[in-house]
Amino acid sequence: MSGQTNKGRKKAIVRLSSKGQFTLPAEVRRKIGLRKGDYLKSYTVGDRLILLERVAAGPFEEIVERFSRIAAEKALDEKALTTLIKKARRELNRGLYGL
């Protein structure tokens, strides 16, 4: 993490991986309370990337993320993954809405 900039803001220099990913420095993650799996809003303004506040993932995003991990771990095909997601949605709707 680089030094202090104007108005008490800090800047960090990060490197982009071959997969288009970068890691926020631990100090930054701690300061704003980010944890593994959190979502951030991002925008582009001209040629600049702006990361904003953390946003809560809705139940649907959590289902997709969870089952994408399961599918990768267990090498599930698309049909099996779709069946698992539909089952999870039914259970979620029963829990949230009594359906």
User: Concatenated DSSP letters for 56-97?
Assistant: PPPHHHHHHHHHHHHHHHHT--HHHHHHHHHHHHHHHHHHHH
**What share of the chain in percent tops pLDDT 90?**
5
76/80 Cα distance (integer angstroms): 6
Q: Which domain holds residue 43?
A: 6-55
Q: Which whole number is the average pLDDT over 18-35?
A: 88
What pLDDT sits at residue 33? 85
Q: Which whole number is the average pLDDT over 9-30?
A: 88
**pLDDT exceeds cutoff 70 at 50:** yes
Domain membership flag for residue 18: yes
Could you tell me if 43 and 70 lie in one domain? no
Domain membership flag for residue 90: yes
Q: What is the pTM of this model?
A: 0.46
Domain membership flag for residue 50: yes
Quick one: how far is CA 71 from the chain centroid? 18
Pair of tokens at residue 38: 């959190």
For residue 21, what is the domain's CATH number? 2.10.260.10
The tally of domains found in the chain comes to: 2
Q: Are 63 and 88 in contact (CB under 8 A)?
A: yes
Which residue's entry shows tokens 């944890």?
35
Could you tell me if 11 and 33 lie in one domain? yes
Could you tell me if 40 and 76 lie in one domain? no
Q: Which whole number is the average pLDDT over 25-38?
A: 85
Could you tell me if 12 and 50 lie in one domain? yes
**pLDDT exceeds cutoff 80 at 98:** no
The number of residues making up the chain comes to: 99
Pair of tokens at residue 75: 């090498």
What pLDDT sits at residue 99? 60
Pair of tokens at residue 54: 């953390």
Which of 55, 71, 86 marks a domain boundary? 55
Please compute, for residue 32, the number of CA atoms within 13 A of its CA located in the half-sphere on the CB side: 16
